[in-house]
Structure 1
């Protein structure tokens, strides 16, 4: 618009006086718009002073001035800054609201981003920083200090990075800042040693062959619908949220496949109440898949259907869907019964992937069965020797003969 006006001046379509009048009219209209949008009353007290209220630090503050023009100036300045120089907090809320409006974010993602915001930004000085006052040095110091203060791992830092990139990209598109999120994080000079190293024994996240045999034996003796859900998890390696969302029509007995097309999600509603429901979309695009099942798995499904012949979902009790947490507790109880350390359903999933990879299953098939974007994810986080220490020692003894 400025270019058009300058051309109008250049070619004598507008005079300097015309331009000045136009700018004045725009300012008057802008002022009127801001005053009309002011959500609080403006009133004159018995003492002759003028009053209104403004939201300051999440509380309504009473504002007093001697005349109406002054009180209106305060209102205009306040909302102008809100509109043209929002805080990090305001930008985060606007970014989330916009993406939610256009269906770009699932409710579970909104919950994750909101939790990360509360963890890293809420209550800090950075939350109240106005975007036009933010430069790359201030941003760099905030990022570095947050990593140190929260003792973040590299993986934990990714949560902070995602919300900061979202805020900055939104702010740049709105022309509030010139900071490029992509360039900033690409150039971010942070050494690997700043991140906390997470030392976690891999075997704690998987079951050994013997432990799986013990679990299967227990389920065979106690074939309840919840126990059979754990059996199906062992036979398919699906995520527990996918398992809890299965419907009878997802199983194709002719092609011997299961269509994984939905998952359980948890999010907070507008009132902050925790909601657990089924999303008609899986975790990622790759998660929507047809997995191959064996005859033993089909037999398990048929046993489940005998226990729940009319249910909308495969796993129900008294007409209610059995949730992920219920299945997780079931596995814990089984672990306790057979005398092995407690592990969750995701450990079964890791074990399933390890079994496939250890037996040289085609990598593209493993990737499809797991619903991963690439096989590197499977190899990095899922493959591990499942044999116990005695079996591993025997293998080394047989291999090293000198």
Structure 2
């Protein structure tokens, strides 16, 4: 610890005062420190002497301090807060509570945790929590990151996790086998799309103020992310082109209400989607409906309460699936369906990645280029919309 930092972080004032002893007046300096949970007064003849004492006291305290796994996790998340979103930190803390809170492991001195301690902890938590393979992989990721952080910051000399990695396969056998959804579960069939669209038409007629289903219909046609749909503005649609340049972000902080902001796209890049005839028809119907109820705003999907947030769009498709008696689907299922249909029609992975806003491993590290014209993309989207809207 640097001397300046120690003195700057000392919580008590250093004051000069006069004392009388044997009829003589002396000048002394006083301050306080915490010892064994109690405040203790410190006296010295000079300010320099009291500062020297404080430096020695806090240096010794730091050297004797036990750093637990929990302490190191808190340091790690403090560092991560500078480079990741609030939502990511929220997920870290939720996972920490699930995996580590109230365990002996979190209170262990990280300096003395060894390979055996980690293996025993992992084995016990997998059996106790009945973890799936994916959850176990996430858990190992946290332990790996925290021990790497501790090693790089000289909290520990040797990272014990490197000796654990070769033995993870044995613990992995204790996990519950992941149940992966098949393509029918992860996408929406033409028949289900037809059923949903019929329900939407019924809602448009009976509940003209209910704008949210239009946003779900837009997802079925475009495959856009739910945050992109919520953030879409009318000014983003021009000359037959939809420019995706914004996305809604939800910020979760423990003990506080969820807040929503409009920020850049997930990849940080804009992308263009050509407007098909089905999309143009939908947008015209949305505009007319919003004008009729007086809710039209700068955002494409707005009701009398203002911009329709992502959560309401996501809830809408789930609720409508329940109402019509089909298996529950998500907005992301719409996205997978559009992408899968485009690929089945022969669109190249590079062009599909460009249209959907995927990275495709950053399109082979940004060296594969999408040179297709928008007319080609529009033709593919027209065919996709036709296939999805005509189930019979």
TM-score by length of 1: 0.68
Q: Would the alpha carbon gap of residues 217 and 142 (structure 1) be closer, same or farther in structure 2, given more than 3 Å must change?
A: same
Q: Would the alpha carbon gap of residues 168 and 67 (structure 1) be closer, same or farther in structure 2, given more than 3 Å must change?
A: same
Does 2:364 correspond to 1:364?
no
Query: Residue 277 of structure 1 corresponds to which residue in structure 2?
Result: 260
Q: Tell me the C-alpha RMSD between the 2 structures.
A: 3.8
C-alpha contact 1:241 1:265 (8 A) present in aligned 2 = no
The alpha carbon displacement at 1:186 in A equals 5.1
Q: Would the alpha carbon gap of residues 66 and 100 (structure 1) be closer, same or farther in structure 2, given more than 3 Å must change?
A: closer
C-alpha contact 1:34 1:79 (8 A) present in aligned 2 = no
Query: Residue 149 of structure 1 corresponds to which residue in structure 2?
Result: 128
C-alpha contact 2:34 2:40 (8 A) present in aligned 1 = no
1:1-400 equivalences in 2 (<5 Å): 37=9, 39=11, 62-63=37-38, 78-82=61-65, 85-101=66-82, 104-180=83-159, 183=162, 187-191=166-170, 192-202=172-182, 203-223=184-204, 224-254=210-240, 256-268=241-253, 272-284=255-267, 289-308=271-290, 310-374=296-360
Q: Would the alpha carbon gap of residues 162 and 371 (structure 1) be closer, same or farther in structure 2, given more than 3 Å must change?
A: farther
Q: Which whole-Å CA distance do the structure 2 matches of 1:344 and 1:166 have between them?
A: 32
Deviations along 1:41-65, one digit per CA (max 9) or x if unpaired, are 9xxxxxxxxx9768xxxxxx84599
Q: Which whole-Å CA distance do the structure 2 matches of 1:208 and 1:264 have between them?
A: 29
Deviations along 1:350-380, one digit per CA (max 9) or x if unpaired, are 33233233333322223333333338xxxxx
Query: Residue 12 of structure 1 corresponds to which residue in structure 2?
Result: none
The alpha carbon displacement at 1:226 in A equals 0.9
Q: Would the alpha carbon gap of residues 176 and 261 (structure 1) be closer, same or farther in structure 2, given more than 3 Å must change?
A: same
Q: Which whole-Å CA distance do the structure 2 matches of 1:374 and 1:39 have between them?
A: 52
Q: Would the alpha carbon gap of residues 184 and 90 (structure 1) be closer, same or farther in structure 2, given more than 3 Å must change?
A: same
Q: Which whole-Å CA distance do the structure 2 matches of 1:341 and 1:365 have between them?
A: 31
Q: Would the alpha carbon gap of residues 201 and 74 (structure 1) be closer, same or farther in structure 2, given more than 3 Å must change?
A: same
The alpha carbon displacement at 1:111 in A equals 1.0
Q: Which whole-Å CA distance do the structure 2 matches of 1:150 and 1:260 have between them?
A: 42
Q: State the number of aligned residues.
A: 326
Q: Equivalent residue of 1:257, what SS?
A: strand
Q: Equivalent residue of 2:244, what SS?
A: strand
C-alpha contact 2:225 2:335 (8 A) present in aligned 1 = yes
The alpha carbon displacement at 1:211 in A equals 0.9
C-alpha contact 2:73 2:146 (8 A) present in aligned 1 = yes
Query: Residue 398 of structure 1 corresponds to which residue in structure 2?
Result: none
Q: Equivalent residue of 1:290, what SS?
A: strand
C-alpha contact 1:165 1:181 (8 A) present in aligned 2 = no
Q: Which whole-Å CA distance do the structure 2 matches of 1:108 and 1:66 have between them?
A: 45
Q: Would the alpha carbon gap of residues 237 and 334 (structure 1) be closer, same or farther in structure 2, given more than 3 Å must change?
A: same
The alpha carbon displacement at 1:182 in A equals 8.2
Tell me, which stretches of 5 or more residues in structure 1 are unaligned? 1-25, 42-50, 55-60, 376-386, 392-402
Q: Equivalent residue of 1:133, what SS?
A: coil
Q: Which whole-Å CA distance do the structure 2 matches of 1:294 and 1:119 have between them?
A: 46
Q: Would the alpha carbon gap of residues 116 and 337 (structure 1) be closer, same or farther in structure 2, given more than 3 Å must change?
A: closer
C-alpha contact 1:169 1:181 (8 A) present in aligned 2 = no
Q: Equivalent residue of 1:194, what SS?
A: coil
TM-score by length of 2: 0.69
C-alpha contact 1:244 1:263 (8 A) present in aligned 2 = yes
